[in-house]
Amino acid sequence: MPLYEYKDSQGEEIRLAFGSAVDEATFGQILELDESTDPDFSLKVALEFFALAADAVQSMKIAVRPVLLLSMEAR
C-alpha cells in the first residue's frame, strides 16, 4: 500500500497509507499549495474528508444490510 510521508508546520512527521484511489503525487501537490499563514490547512481538510468518507461508507453498509437480508430470504 502506498505510503505518503509529510512534515506538518511543527515538524511532526505524518505517515498516511493510501489505497489505489489516491494519487500520491497529486495529493502532495495539493499540500504544497498551502499559504504560509496556515501551512497545514489542506492536510486538515483532506484528513477530515477521508474521515467523513469512511463514516459515510459505514453508514451505507448499515443501511443496505437489511435490504440484502430481505432479498436473500426471498430467494
pLDDT of residue 28: 81
- Domain span at residue 28? 4-64
Distance CA 75, CA 72 (A): 5
Domain count, the chain: 1
Map residue 40 onto helix, strand or coil: coil
On whether residue 15 sits in a domain, the answer given is yes
In the chain, how many H helices and how many E strands? 2, 2
On whether residue 14 sits in a domain, the answer given is yes
On whether residue 75 sits in a domain, the answer given is no
pLDDT of residue 2: 55
On whether residue 69 sits in a domain, the answer given is no
Return the C-alpha cell found at 61.
453498509
Which amino acid makes up residue 13? E
On whether residue 25 sits in a domain, the answer given is yes
Q: What is the pLDDT along the chain (75 residues), one digit of tens a residue?
A: 556 777 777 888 877 777 777 787 888 888 888 877 887 888 888 888 888 988 999 999 898 888 877 777 777
On whether residue 74 sits in a domain, the answer given is no
Map residue 66 onto helix, strand or coil: helix
